[in-house]
């Protein structure tokens, strides 16, 4: 996870799932995580069952495994089945728990809480009604970073639910906080930006 320590921003690009494009069935989400020079630093892949993707599209239980370029696990997000208030527990592959990211109720806005391993809220992520694709990161009420859903291009936006994001990390954020904020992107993509038809 040391690659995250020196980065102040990353880009997350979701891969187009051609099975999804041609059949309409939800595929396993896959992402590349890139530095500001567009170099791959991590890959992320969803682990979930076919039936859950068909019958419980954005409600489905799943894991997202974040791996380095050699395919070794760096950290993972475990999202259980939930009707409401989705959450993802974040930790490494050796059982070390970093914390969790969880969707909170908000009227016409997007809102995610980030908690550390001691279950203390360390960040609040929120969009405004007028800017639903910009999620500001707050620490103790002060804006310290942002997650931005970027335009993916007309063809990609129209034919798939593959999305692109950028994350500007808070200055001086510990590496575990950066892993939690990166996990918040995966949760936001699943519960806010995947097509729900």
Write out the two tokens for 60: 């489905």
Q: What is the pLDDT of residue 155?
A: 47
Residue with token string 């791996």: 67
Phi, psi of 163 (to 5 degrees): -125, 160
Task: Determine the Cα–Cα distance for residues 167 and 79; give it in Å rounded to an integer.
Answer: 21
- Bridge partners for 67 per DSSP: 43, 73
pLDDT > 50? residue 160: no
Average pLDDT of the residues in 159-177: 85
Domains and CATH numbers, the chain: 2-193 (2.40.160.200)
Q: What is the pLDDT of residue 2?
A: 81
pLDDT, tens digit, 9 for 90 and up, residues 9-53: 999 999 876 555 555 666 788 999 999 999 999 999 999 988 988
Q: What is the pLDDT of residue 157?
A: 47
Q: What is the pLDDT of residue 24?
A: 60
Average pLDDT of the residues in 158-177: 84
Name the more confident of 76 and 17.
76
Phi, psi of 165 (to 5 degrees): -135, 155
pLDDT, tens digit, 9 for 90 and up, residues 77-102: 999 998 889 999 999 999 999 999 99
Q: What is the pLDDT of residue 21?
A: 52
Q: What is the pLDDT of residue 145?
A: 97
Write out the two tokens for 110: 């997007």
pLDDT > 50? residue 57: yes
Q: What is the pLDDT of residue 26?
A: 66
pLDDT, tens digit, 9 for 90 and up, residues 94-134: 999 999 999 999 888 999 999 999 999 999 999 998 888 89
């Amino acid at each position: 996870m040391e690659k995250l320590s020196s980065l102040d921003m990353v880009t997350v690009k979701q891969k187009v799932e051609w099975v999804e494009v041609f059949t309409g069935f939800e595929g396993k989400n896959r992402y590349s995580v890139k530095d500001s020079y567009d170099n791959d630093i991590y890959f992320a892949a969803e682990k979930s069952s076919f039936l859950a993707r068909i019958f419980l599209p954005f409600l489905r239980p799943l894991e997202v495994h974040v791996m380095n370029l050699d395919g070794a696990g760096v950290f993972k997000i475990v999202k259980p089945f939930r009707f409401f208030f989705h959450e993802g527990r974040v930790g490494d592959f050796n059982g070390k728990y970093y914390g969790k990211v969880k969707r909170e109720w908000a009227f016409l806005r997007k809102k995610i809480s980030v908690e550390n391993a001691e279950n203390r809220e360390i960040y609040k992520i929120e969009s405004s009604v007028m800017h639903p694709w910009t999620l500001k990161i707050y620490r103790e009420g002060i804006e310290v970073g942002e997650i931005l859903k970027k335009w993916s291009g007309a063809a990609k936006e129209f034919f798939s639910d593959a999305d692109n994001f950028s994350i500007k990390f808070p200055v001086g954020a510990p590496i575990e906080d950066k892993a939690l904020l990166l996990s918040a992107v995966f949760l936001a993509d699943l519960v806010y930006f995947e097509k729900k038809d």
